[in-house]
Amino acid sequence: MRITSAEFVISATRPGNYPPEELPEIAFAGRSNVGKSTLINVLVNRRHLVKTSSTPGRTQLLNFFAINGRMVFVDLPGYGYAKVPERIKKDWGEMIETYLATRKTLKAVTLILDIRRKAQIEEVDFINWLIERQIPVILILTKADKLSKNQQKKQIALNAAALNLPPESLICFSAKTRRGLEQVWAAIGSCVRGEAEGENPGGSLCSEN
Ligand SMILES: Nc1nc2c(ncn2[C@@H]2O[C@H](COP(=O)(O)OP(=O)(O)OP(=O)(O)O)[C@@H](O)[C@H]2O)c(=O)[nH]1
Ligand SMILES: [Mg+2]
């Protein structure tokens, strides 16, 4: 994908502050520190468009970015970070859920998992919740550079089994080596064009993997 422009639009916590529902939107979700913001920077080929950090909990608002004037990326705060106080966790959960459940222009959720970990019940529940709402999901196992080829294969199989999905539906990615970048763009492209909905009326995966 040739990126001609990638611009920060706005940070929001509630629907009143979201930008107008004009362009197709792709949201990026996953646990704290998994690499959501980094993935966006790699996708748009900008090192510092989105703030990243080695400390979990960096992204705390819904951050909207306009890409090529044609689509919007939404960087979501991470979930599952133990050190966040319960009350804030609840607010974050509500903020994310309200966005996902109400946003009419949302075309897909890119769910990012750390390839070194095994998907947990939270991820299974989250995917089912999205499928129930007919929101396509793009699944990414990131930080692949941290494992050998053999270990990667094992982890892909382990995660596919945990999610009860074929291994082909998981895209293996690395921000360091840019492995999987084209596959991620292909999946996003098909969701932006609305092809996933046509193919999967039940609202399931839309990766072109
Ligand atoms: N080696 C390696 N490190 C990565 C990769 N992707 C992200 N990281 C590192 O992981 C850390 C967290 O990255 P972020 O992109 O800030 O993670 P996030 O999911 O946006 O985190 P929160 O906003 O806190 O939820 C940073 O130190 C990144 O440099 C990758 O593919 N490979
Ligand atoms: Mg972030």
| Element of type H or E holding 26 | strand 25-30
Mutation probe of ligand 1 site: the residue of 38, 84, 178 with most atoms within 8 A of C-beta: 38
Does 16 reside within a domain?
A: yes
> Residue 187: which CATH number?
3.40.50.300
Does 166 reside within a domain?
A: yes
pLDDT of residue 57: 67
Work out how many domains the chain is built from and give that number: 1
Does 48 reside within a domain?
A: yes
- The residues with which 66 forms a beta bridge, in sequence order, are 7, 72
Which ligand 1 atom is at minimum distance from the Cα of 51? 16
Does 209 reside within a domain?
A: no
CB burial readout 147-171, b (16+ within 10 A) else e: beeeebeebbebbbebbebeeebbb
Per-residue confidence in pLDDT tens, the chain, 209 aa: 899 999 999 999 999 999 999 999 999 999 988 999 999 999 999 988 888 877 766 667 899 999 999 999 999 988 766 666 777 777 778 899 999 999 999 999 999 999 999 999 989 999 999 999 999 999 999 999 999 999 999 999 999 999 999 999 999 999 999 999 999 999 999 999 987 654 433 333 544 44
Does 208 reside within a domain?
A: no
Is the CB of 21 within 6 Å of ligand 1? Answer: no
Does 118 reside within a domain?
A: yes
Does 71 reside within a domain?
A: yes
pLDDT of residue 199: 43
User: Which residues span the domain enclosing 74?
Assistant: 6-199
Residue 138, classed as helix, strand or coil, is strand
If we measure between CA atoms, which residue out of 82, 10, 83, 72 comes closest to residue 40? 72
Does 206 reside within a domain?
A: no
pLDDT of residue 56: 67
> Which ligand is closest to the CA of 31, given by its number?
1
Is the CB of 51 within 6 Å of ligand 1? Answer: no
Q: How far is CA 112 from the centre of its chain?
A: 5
pLDDT of residue 204: 38
Q: What is the pTM of this model?
A: 0.91
Q: Name residues with Cβ closer than 5 Å to ligand 2, which is an ion.
A: 36-37, 58-59
